[in-house]
A and B are shown apart, each in its own frame.
Chain A
Amino acid sequence: MKNFNGEILFLDRADINTDEIIPAKYLTEITKEALKPYLLEDLKLETFDPKKDIEGKKAILTKQNFGCGSSREHAPWALEMNDINVVIAVNFARIFKQNMFNNGMLAVELDEKTIQDLFNTFQGKKTDLITKFEKGIFIFESEDQRMEVPFTITDFDRSLITAGGWVEYADLHY
């Protein structure tokens, strides 16, 4: 299994699309590694600078409809190459979410109120995510705050994570 623990990057906006996650001009790359420097390059957010704020982050917390737009799997790959293997949001675009699990990465939905509570409590502070995958629990931890949040994913998504991705799963079953 991939690493689902570490410092959180807060992206406080809904509808962050795949062109913002990885612009189309980099789709001419044929290796995942080449995408690493360009993650979130075109995302315009007041408190976000891709050159400074991605380094060292291992998880993303964001709002609604993350990953909308193109089907490009380059979006999760660009995250993966930056060692960000978990995104937590109110909800996701279908293809992006499937692409995450197909790569053995976690895309987890929490209800809107919980997400807002997490933003209110932790945004602006150095916050770590600890993932208890088997138990289905996230622990959010800053210097002065700690929150435990249960999460659920489907059994199928769980089996993709443990199999290492959809190719491995499909090869075994079909």
Chain B
Amino acid sequence: MGKTIAEKIFDAHHVDTPSGDIHVIKLDAVFCHEITTPVAINDLVSRGKDRVFDAGKIKAVIDHVTPAKDSKTAEQGKLIREWTRRQNIKDFFDIGRNGVCHALFPEKGFVRPGYTVIMGDSHTCTHGAFGAFAAGVGTTDLEVGILKGVCAFHYPQTIKITVTGELQKGVYAKDVILSIIGKLGVNGATNKVIEFTGPVVDRMNMEERMTLCNMAVEAGGTSGICYPDMITVEYLWDFIKGDYPSKEDALKDFKKWQSDSDAVYDEEITHDVSGLKPLTTVGYKPDQLKSIEDMGNTKVDQVYIGSCTNGRIEDLRAAAEVLKGKKISDDVRGVLSPATPGVYKQALKEGLIDIFMEAGFCVTNPTCGACLGMSNGVLASGEVCASTTNRNFNGRMGKGGMIHLMSPACAAATALTGYITSEDKIQ
């Protein structure tokens, strides 16, 4: 009987089977940010176990609230900063070098095919785009990961989604994942890995694959996962060229992380996206969707472009293409947060930041802040935001606010008109 990619990764990292289908697996990377890590650090200190399993496998960043907005967030930053120094964690990204974790760590080449990755952050599933098993965990799992380099999971069951057809112009990876969440429902993939495959995924670049995998958790999924291929090799080449004589050799090695043709799935779905139109969410759950063309005159107060879902260079390019030479509506506040310093610098080089600023956008530093209503773009009660983020929960971006999730291009179009608009309506 064949195996899925997730099963192969689990088998290669097996440490223990304490009971039933629970597998304790060895971790290749433990990622940390300043919101969920400090309590783990304090607990380790209070237990007299202030140590780490492998300083080289721990990567840390301050990204949720940066620069610190008040004394409490300053304390959180201080705690993780001092811990990384104390534990000799070299890969720590503080202000000036910091960015949204799930955009920054891939950029640094920290995730490889076949890896196991945890972080105290639900969108850790993003890193499955590299053919890794990557799962969000709570602070206690993170703490044990830091201390012991292991984590316990149910042996993975997988939903295979084969994405077929041709995406129409103006339809993006964001629309694809929203439509998949709509199909599965918000708990349709709970305790399962979602494998994204098929010709549409094969054609996607790494950034689009990250957008897909990023929102696996919005259907309850433990990890999203894509098969590594030459696109993965190209993305990682600068970091792996010392390990392989050629890209073809790297590809050959990466190919071991692929599901067998006779692998057993929990569910197999073919998802044809040829007729897919630009989507947005309505209500407070990411599986409540409407075509943007059916939204009527839905006025917005703020447009937010950024986050671990859609704050990468391709996203900024798509939005800037719509905004070029135009001004956003007087009734809209436009906020752009390039997800990493690398994205920011590249956008500057390409003149994209000029386009955003000429259009009337405020450009903030890289941070997660607005997405979860912590800083840099919090909504007031009754306000509506068109957002490229991943969650439209009630109160998520500010108490009493309403969020409509959409692609960067549609967010840009919406900023221009002041009401929810698809890209094709902009001349």
A15 to B147, CA, bound (A): 33
B20 near A156 with CB under 8 A, answer yes
Which residues on A are within 8 Å of B, measured CB to CB? 15, 17, 19-20, 23-25, 27-32, 42, 44, 64-65, 68-73, 76, 91-96, 98-99, 102-103, 154-156, 159, 165-167, 170-171, 173-174
Query: Does B148 lie at the interface of the complex (its beta carbon under 8 Å from any beta carbon of A)?
Result: yes
What distance in Å separates the Cβ of A158 from its nearest Cβ neighbour in chain B?
A: 8
B374 near A170 with CB under 8 A, answer no
Sorted nearest first, the 4 A-B pairs with minimum C-beta distance are A99-B138, A102-B140, A73-B138, A155-B19
> Which of B36, B187, B191 sits near A15, CB closer than 8 Å?
B187
Query: Does B85 lie at the interface of the complex (its beta carbon under 8 Å from any beta carbon of A)?
Result: no
> Which of B64, B79, B137 sits near A98, CB closer than 8 Å?
B137
A96 to B226, CA, bound (A): 25
A71 near B19 with CB under 8 A, answer no
A170 to B141, CA, bound (A): 10
B393 near A166 with CB under 8 A, answer no
Query: Does B42 lie at the interface of the complex (its beta carbon under 8 Å from any beta carbon of A)?
Result: yes
A20 to B373, CA, bound (A): 13
> Which of A15, A25, A69, A154 sits near B391, CB closer than 8 Å?
A69
B187 near A23 with CB under 8 A, answer no
> Which of B24, B122, B220 sits near A174, CB closer than 8 Å?
B24
> Which of A25, A64, A159, A165 sits near B373, CB closer than 8 Å?
A25
11 A-B pairs whose Cβ atoms sit less than 8 Å apart in the complex: A15-B187, A20-B394, A30-B39, A68-B186, A93-B187, A94-B190, A96-B138, A154-B19, A167-B143, A170-B147, A170-B150
Which of chain A's residues has its CB closest to B43's CB? A167
With A91-B190, A94-B190, A156-B22: A29-B140 Cβ-Cβ less than 8 Å:
no
With A32-B39, A98-B138: A64-B76 Cβ-Cβ less than 8 Å:
no
> Which of B16, B124, B220 sits near A68, CB closer than 8 Å?
B220
Query: Does B72 lie at the interface of the complex (its beta carbon under 8 Å from any beta carbon of A)?
Result: yes
A167 to B141, CA, bound (A): 8
> Which of B15, B73, B76, B144 sits near A166, CB closer than 8 Å?
B144
Which residues in B have their C-beta under 8 angstroms from that of A96? 138
With A70-B122, A156-B18, A156-B19: A95-B186 Cβ-Cβ less than 8 Å:
no
A42 near B122 with CB under 8 A, answer no
A73 to B37, CA, bound (A): 11
A30 near B140 with CB under 8 A, answer no
A20 near B395 with CB under 8 A, answer yes
Which residues in A have their C-beta under 8 angstroms from that of B396? 19, 24
